[in-house]
Amino acid sequence: MPWNRPVVAALTLAAATSHALPALADGEVNIYSYRQPELIQPLLDAFTKETGIETNVLFLDKGLVERIQAEGANSPADVILTVDISRLTEAVEAGVTQPVDDAKINDHIPAQYRDPKGNWFGLTTRGRVVYASRDRVPENEITYEELSDPKWKGRICTRDGQHSYNIGLFASMIAHHGAEYTEKWLTGVKNNLTRKPDGSDRSQAKAIFSGECDIALGNSYYVGLMMTNEKEPEQKEWAGAIKVLFPNAKDRGTHVNISGVSLAKNAPNKENGIRLMEFLASPEAQKIYAEQVFEYPVAPGAEPSEIVKSFGPIKPDPLPLAEISAHRKEASELVDKVGFNDGPSE
């Protein structure tokens, strides 16, 4: 098995093997993940403790699908973990997944968060929200549409426009308003930027804290992660400087995306892969997602953490994610067309 061969540039091999029950170990499961290792480690630890199955994680910040395609039938990948509907759809379209029809998964994951053909399952949702300065932004309500209003000129920061988190939001704007409107809107947002898009969602909170910008686009769960970060306590200060605004709360609702899971097409440990998928869909894992990753669990009756509740209620945009995903290529093309990543025009 080619698991231990050298990893190409820009890919990071993260060993996430748990030895909680070495005497009862029952094989292994190999996970290819777009999700950062520290976000999924608590789940994998709990899975190994419950089943004795060891977990190996290959974290890739890009090129996951291409990696599996290149490995072909000899790919060691059993399970694919990823962070949004676009990447789940990409994996399916590339032919690197296989369908799963599993009663345990179906019982816990509502139909709107499952691929009708069983090629992927949503595990959590998160809002693409607005981080706003507590000191400099008196508004407590906002819409995505008004981000192009000149009143925000020089006050907005965000990560790369081509990042999947932003592409999902921009695709939702196309789904709601059409490409012509979205092109003009993107141009307006670009001209309101403080600087060229850069960094992570956490970087945007830091920029607000430092006074570089007043509002930013970011995922809701990062706020909880910053608030509880003991290793880098300065992140608590960044989180303390912002408030979470849920855009379009009074009309269609806030754009949400999902984290999800697929079974790899040539999974060598298929049975263990399905057991991991069942675990990730279980109430136990949904609670871990809520309490330690600060995402919204999708299982009926599962509650978000108290920290997430403190942000206020979220009204999710009901537009089907599959419909939004259909516009992701067009959204990417518009980002390039308007020169979004060039930053504000002089």
Contact 103, 85 (CB under 8 A): no
DSSP-derived secondary structure for 135-170:
TT---S---SGGGGSGGGTT-EE-S-TTSHHHHHHH
C-alpha 294/C-alpha 309 separation (Å) is 10
Same domain, yes or no: 185 and 201: yes
- Check whether residue 280 and residue 172 sit in a common domain: no
Question: For the purposes of burial, counting CB atoms within 10 Å of the CB of 25, is it exposed (0-12), middle (13-18) or buried (19 or more)?
Answer: middle
Q: Residues of the chain whose pLDDT is less than 70?
A: 1-25, 346
Number of other CB atoms surrounding residue 341 within 10 Å: 16
pLDDT tens digit sequence for 82-101: 988 888 989 999 999 999 99
Cβ proximity of 121 and 113 under 8 Å:
yes
| Of residues 211, 205, 219, 206, the one with CA closest to residue 247 | 219
Does 118 share its domain with 129? no
Do 155 and 214 form a contact (C-beta atoms < 8 A)?
Answer: yes
What tens digit of pLDDT does each residue of 43-80 get?
Answer: 999 999 999 999 999 999 889 999 999 999 999 999 99
Closest of 227, 167, 238 to residue 203, by C-alpha: 238
Q: Do both 276 and 331 map to the same domain?
A: no
The pLDDT of residue 50: 95
Q: Which of 181, 233, 226, 231 is nearest to 205 (CA)?
A: 226
Looking at the fold, whether 107 and 226 belong to one and the same domain comes out as no
305 and 291 in contact (C-beta within 8 Å)?
A: yes
Distance CA 129, CA 175 (A): 18
Average pLDDT for the chain: 90
Q: Same structural domain for residues 228 and 332?
A: yes
On whether 221 is known to bind a ligand per the annotation, the reply is yes
Strands 296-297 and 121-133: antiparallel
Give the separation between CA 108 and CA 132, rounded to whole angstroms: 35
The CATH number of whichever domain residue 278 belongs to comes to 3.40.190.10
Residue found under tokens 């991991």: 276
- Length of the chain, in residues: 346
Residue 176 sits in the same domain as residue 269: no
Answer for the pair 295, 221: CB distance below 8 angstroms, yes or no: yes
Phi, psi of 193 (to 5 degrees): -70, 150
What's 304's DSSP letter? -
Residue pair 107/57 in contact by the 8 Å Cβ criterion: no
32 is in an annotated binding site: no
- Same domain, yes or no: 211 and 327: yes
| Same domain flag for 293 and 172 | no
Separation between Cα atoms, residue 268 and residue 78, nearest integer Å: 6
**Residue 33 shares a structural domain with residue 64:** yes
pLDDT of residue 346: 60
pTM: 0.84
Three-state secondary structure of 36-50: CHHHHHHHHHHHHHH
Predicted confidence at residue 61, as pLDDT, reads: 83
Q: What is the H or E stretch that residue 132 is in?
A: strand 121-133
Note whether 172 and 25 are same-domain residues: no
Neighbours of 24 (CB within 10 A): 11
- Residue 158's identity, in one-letter code, is T
Strand partners, 81: 33, 261
Written as one letter, the residue type at 338 is V
User: Is 331 in the same domain as 235?
Assistant: yes
User: φ, ψ for residue 131 (rounded to 5)?
Assistant: -85, 130
| Domain that includes residue 38, residue range | 2-124+258-303
Number of domain units in the chain? 2
Q: Tell me, what amino acid is at 302? A: A
pLDDT at residue 153 in the model = 97
pLDDT digits (tens, 9 = 90+) for 263-279: 999 999 999 999 999 99
